[in-house]
Amino acid sequence: MSKSLRGWVKKITVPAASLQNNTADAERLIAALKPALSTGTVSIDISLLRNLPGLLRKQDGEFNCTLCCSQDHWTVLGLSPASDPAPLTGAAIDLGTSRVVLRLVDLISGDVLEESSFDNPQIAIGPDILARIHHTTETGGRAALQALIVGGLNGELARLCQSCGVEPETVLLAAVAGNTAMTHLFMGLDPQWIIREPYIPAVNRPNLVKASDLGLKLNPHARVFMFPNIGSYFGGDLIAGILYAGLHHRDETAIMVDVGTNAEVVLGNRNWLIACAGAAGPALEGGVTKMGMMAGPGVIDQVQRVPGSRELRISTIDDLPPVGICGSGVIDLAAALFMSGMLDIRGKLVPEKCDDRIRYQAELAHFMLVNGENSGTGRDLTISQADLDSLIRSKAAMYTILETISQSVGTALSDLTSFYVAGTFGSFINPRAAISIGMLPDLPLTTYHSLGNSSLGGATHYLNHADCLAEIDHIRDSITYLELNVNQDFMNRFSAAKFLPHTNAGLFPSVAREES
Amino acid sequence: MSKSLRGWVKKITVPAASLQNNTADAERLIAALKPALSTGTVSIDISLLRNLPGLLRKQDGEFNCTLCCSQDHWTVLGLSPASDPAPLTGAAIDLGTSRVVLRLVDLISGDVLEESSFDNPQIAIGPDILARIHHTTETGGRAALQALIVGGLNGELARLCQSCGVEPETVLLAAVAGNTAMTHLFMGLDPQWIIREPYIPAVNRPNLVKASDLGLKLNPHARVFMFPNIGSYFGGDLIAGILYAGLHHRDETAIMVDVGTNAEVVLGNRNWLIACAGAAGPALEGGVTKMGMMAGPGVIDQVQRVPGSRELRISTIDDLPPVGICGSGVIDLAAALFMSGMLDIRGKLVPEKCDDRIRYQAELAHFMLVNGENSGTGRDLTISQADLDSLIRSKAAMYTILETISQSVGTALSDLTSFYVAGTFGSFINPRAAISIGMLPDLPLTTYHSLGNSSLGGATHYLNHADCLAEIDHIRDSITYLELNVNQDFMNRFSAAKFLPHTNAGLFPSVAREES
């Protein structure tokens, strides 16, 4: 089926009225639409209805009709002559806690016109969700937080539209995928019960909202779809990600790992889905993402070992002199250090193997990756034993979560034939390196697939598939949320995973360390 | 069933959240509502949702929840603790072309708190619908007309609320019954195609509209229900009237006549309804309602003949000295003149029977009802032969319409056991007098029932019966609209009805004229 038939814009012919067919304009339009809609009732937005009579009489009866749908009820948002060259667009929005990513989508062709991103302006109030939610309990705090994100979106949407040469009035639909707290802060919902036991969101499945009710400057009839959440700790961003990855379509069991501000894992197939999310208690303090700096110009994103030696080769973003190292670089580095014997199986630097690249500051060992002469900062670029310890905890946490979720349904990690890694992490991580340190299971490299921004992918999918609502509901309703209970069993597994690649080396047959 | 159970306010208990039941607040509320709703989907107005978490935690779980419904989709408009003494109210509105009548209704008890009315401020633009619709084609004309009626309603609603000691914010629902054109002008819809062949409204079945989208100053979440129309000439006021009269419920065939700005007739029973409306072409020029002045203090509303004589006794409103005569008075007067022989069967004044009460002005005969000494104006109160001719045409038109509609379905007027007369006309008309001049058929007087303002009655019914939506749809869908085709057959019947009571006196056996 073509994208346009599956999309929210329907091409229809509305017959002219006559003395024989003197049904009202709205009802003739709805009758013309019915064959294009599978089921459900239809109504027309009041502000569109006001000028419908003139609109219907402007044209030979051929129209592009833009709709939205909620709970099997369709609403007509826009109607324009089929010959009108003005585009009809939608905005896909990944509403991240730190970074917001947008896409402008042509609702007829389904094409992504352009993508852009900006830092979530709520960072000014608090870098994390907790600080922001606490701020909502102050007078005007909730409104201020909403105004920040809405203002940011309006500015970026205006820039995006200008860059694409379209008017913001052409945007009739927005699809927003965000975690539960961000969704609340964006909609202006009271979020304070999200973070208090028993951790209750205001809503699991928000209804469509008028863009104008949120303060978004789009078409005056535009509606905003918010991906539903399962609870306070499993948000619409993940539902969107599963939709995008298509886990719910497949016969085979697959796994998806999304590492953003939090780490989330979903395992399943067309029959069932199981998920866990968030930090797994104090064991994971520091999380799995606090490794190094954000990617940017001059940041080391790849480290490779020259085979048969302890020499390391680095790559930097934009090939600039190195200024730091990001997450994927740290994993590469740890793998290279371990494979060359400079790191032992406990993750400790081995001074006798590091030669002159080891330094001590206040008795803490540092490994010098780039010396000051070659760095972009004029200073040595080093990684400390503490950083490496943190990485070991992170990788152990990740592996333990993967092991726990798969064991909970009696699936062995080795049985997985598809392993999706979403997010920026997924785009840049080198699965070979992650396997070498035992962060990801030892599966054939062809098993690993990078999804990119899966939340944004899901939001884009929504804009191009009017038939995905039932899928979204199905995903939401079929997920079992696994509370990561940090019990003795979990801690035992975690301890075993704190070795490189693992205390049970048999789990990682491909990792044969060359020691020299 | 009690009114409160059938109404729009549902008393519910929302269980508190727990770690075991950690469904979101909105979904717990909806689950608690479901047993109180027969079918359909439910959503919560976004502005209510924003503060739902705090609201739900305020109370012991007992709430009054106010809803609205459209196309089987319920929307939660209000939620207040069951112990909250603030009333929950609705506004029933009869949106007349000339006069607007309102009622404030308690949505829990179903009681009418107070009723008031005001002249439609759109009269300033044009006294009739045609002039107003023409005005909408001028720049800003449509908005100006909408602003006039909305402003009038806001003022009157504020007065009504103040008089009842309630805040306008307590009004959560409004039900509006108006003719098709007034409904368009109130909603701000483009009405110009209503009056041009093939006479097409913008919409037959308006969806619920937010009061704020219309500019109505009620509760910010309030919704407005507009009764649906069948076409340009058969509006929501009549659907409301049928709902109120209950024609669609009965096994027996009944008739309803509503004489407002137009005359409308509906005939039917639970299986079928047939209706006609409006003036029946040039034969009815002058309409059936342009008789005398509006009712008011000192206006003659009853005229009775002293039996056995040609003496007339008048009654005036508030027993004040007479200043004029209204419609019901004119019918009484014509009946009295005819029964006493002062008017012949052609409706012409008989000079020799009128004695000194006949006057001539420019060769036109006038009958003096009250002389200047006894009138409230100091001048003689007279009715001219031209006025009487007009009345004869009106009464002939009314009878011909009644005869035509009943013959169209093979029913004899004499078979009717219920005859409902709605509107001000119905409240004051003396059926005996109307029969005497052959305006209404010669049925037992017990057959006639005055309905009062049936449109307002229907709007009030809506506010107290959440289960009436299917009935309203049923009425709308089961009505056959009879175009009054002014053909030779119609004109023949009309000519026969222009005599007093009729050329076929056998149709009016009860009318035995006493000539003296």
Q: Residue B12: which H helix or E strand, with range?
A: strand B9-13
Q: Which two tokens stand for residue B317?
A: 């409103």
Locate the chain A residue with the closest alpha carbon to B53. Answer: A202
The residues, ordered by sequence, that sit 6+ positions from A224 with a Cβ below 8 Å of its Cβ are A173, A174, A175, A176, A208, A209, A210, A211, A214, A216
Residues A194, A184: Cα–Cα separation, whole Å: 9
Is the CB of residue B328 less than 8 Å from the CB of residue B304? no
Can you tell me whether residue A21 is helix, strand or coil? Answer: coil
A278 band by pLDDT with thresholds 50, 70 and 90: low
**pLDDT tens sequence across B17-40:** 998 899 999 999 999 999 999 788
Number of CB pairs < 8 Å for A and B? 140
DSSP state of B326: B
**pLDDT tens sequence across B171-228:** 999 999 999 999 999 999 999 999 999 999 999 999 999 999 999 999 999 999 999 9
Determine the pLDDT at residue A280: 41
Locate the chain A residue with the closest alpha carbon to B211. Answer: A46
| B71 touches A: beta carbon within 8 Å | yes
Among the partner residues A17, A50, A54, nearest to B198 by beta-carbon distance: A17
Can you tell me whether residue B74 is helix, strand or coil? Answer: strand
Is the CB of residue A429 less than 8 Å from the CB of residue A331? yes
Closest CA of chain A from B95, distance in Å:
19
Interface of A with B in 201-230 (CB under 8 A): 201-207, 209-210, 213, 229
What number of CA atoms fall less than 13 Å from residue A316's CA on the CB side?
19
Interface of B with A in 359-398 (CB under 8 A): none
Q: Do B53 and A192 touch (CB under 8 A)?
A: yes
Determine the pLDDT at residue B287: 41
Is the CB of residue B414 less than 8 Å from the CB of residue B441? yes
Q: Do B25 and A201 touch (CB under 8 A)?
A: yes
* A81-90, B78-87, B319-328, B337-346: least confident range: B319-328
- Integer angstrom CA distances of residue B153 from B77, B103, B149: 21, 11, 6
Residues B208, B185: Cα–Cα separation, whole Å: 16
Q: Do B198 and A22 touch (CB under 8 A)?
A: yes
Determine the pLDDT at residue B3: 41
List chain A residues with CB under 8 Å of B70.
Answer: 43
Evaluate if residue B58 carries a pLDDT over 50: yes
Q: Do A26 and B193 touch (CB under 8 A)?
A: no
Residues B205, B200: Cα–Cα separation, whole Å: 13
Q: Which two tokens stand for residue B515?
A: 């000539």
Report, as an integer, the average pLDDT of A285-308: 71
Closest CA of chain A from B31, distance in Å:
12
Q: Which two tokens stand for residue A149?
A: 């994100």
Specify the amino acid at residue B25: D
The residues, ordered by sequence, that sit 6+ positions from A499 with a Cβ below 8 Å of its Cβ are A345, A346, A347, A438
A258 band by pLDDT with thresholds 50, 70 and 90: confident
The structure's pTM equals 0.90
Q: Which two tokens stand for residue A386?
A: 């503490």
Residues A339, B402: Cα–Cα separation, whole Å: 101
Is the CB of residue A400 less than 8 Å from the CB of residue A497? yes
Residues A191, A146: Cα–Cα separation, whole Å: 12
Phi, psi of A254 (to 5 degrees): -125, 165
Give the burial class of A30: count Cβ atoms within 10 A of its Cβ; 0-12 exposed, 13-18 middle, 19 or more buried. Answer: buried
| A198 touches B: beta carbon within 8 Å | yes
Can you tell me whether residue B56 is helix, strand or coil? Answer: helix
**pLDDT tens sequence across A119-147:** 999 999 999 999 999 999 999 999 999 99
Instruction: Classify each residue of B176-203 as buried b or exposed e, where b means 16 or more C-beta atoms within 10 Å of its C-beta.
Output: bbbbbbbbbbbbbbbbbbbeeeeebbbb
List chain A residues with CB under 8 Å of B41.
Answer: 71-73
List chain B residues with CB under 8 Å of A204.
Answer: 23-24, 26-27
Determine the pLDDT at residue A273: 96
| B457 touches A: beta carbon within 8 Å | no
Handedness of CA A297, A299, A303, A309 (dihedral sign): positive
Among the partner residues B47, B52, B200, nearest to A22 by beta-carbon distance: B200
List chain B residues with CB under 8 Å of A200.
Answer: 17, 22-25, 53
A225 forms beta bridges with A175
DSSP state of B512: -
Q: Residue A106: which H helix or E strand, with range?
A: strand A99-106
Determine the pLDDT at residue A60: 80
List chain A residues with CB under 8 Å of B54.
Answer: 190
Enumerate domains of chain A plus CATH numbers.
3-81 (3.10.20.880), 89-226 (3.30.420.480), 240-283+391-503 (3.30.420), 299-390 (no CATH)
CA angle B210, B215, B216 (to 5 degrees): 75
CB count in 10 Å sphere of residue B282: 7
Is the CB of residue B135 less than 8 Å from the CB of residue B126? yes
Q: What does pLDDT average to over chain A? A: 91
Q: Which two tokens stand for residue B382?
A: 């007279």
| B279 touches A: beta carbon within 8 Å | no
Determine the pLDDT at residue A261: 59
Q: Do A24 and B203 touch (CB under 8 A)?
A: yes
Is the CB of residue B486 less than 8 Å from the CB of residue B495? no
Ramachandran bin of B267, using left for φ above 0, alpha for ψ from -120 to 50, beta for the remaining angles? beta
Instruction: Classify each residue of A410-433 as buried b or exposed e, where b means 16 or more C-beta atoms within 10 Å of its C-beta.
Output: ebebeebebbbbbbbbbebbbbeb
Residues A204, B29: Cα–Cα separation, whole Å: 12
Evaluate if residue B5 carries a pLDDT over 80: no
Report, as an integer, the average pLDDT of A367-385: 92
Three-state SS across A189-226? CCCHHHCCCCCCCCCCCCCCEEHHHHCCCCCCCCEEEE
Specify the amino acid at residue B323: V
Residue with tokens 């009333």: B87
Give the burial class of B210: count Cβ atoms within 10 A of its Cβ; 0-12 exposed, 13-18 middle, 19 or more buried. Answer: buried
CB count in 10 Å sphere of residue A85: 6
B280 band by pLDDT with thresholds 50, 70 and 90: very low
A314 forms beta bridges with A303
Q: Which two tokens stand for residue A301?
A: 């994103």
Among the partner residues A24, A54, A190, nearest to B204 by beta-carbon distance: A24
**pLDDT tens sequence across A322-362:** 998 888 888 999 999 999 999 999 999 999 999 899 999 88
Q: Do B54 and A205 touch (CB under 8 A)?
A: no
How many whole angstroms from its chain centre is CA B19? 55
Angle between helices A454-464 and A236-245 (to 10 degrees): 70
Locate the chain B residue with the closest alpha carbon to A208. Answer: B46
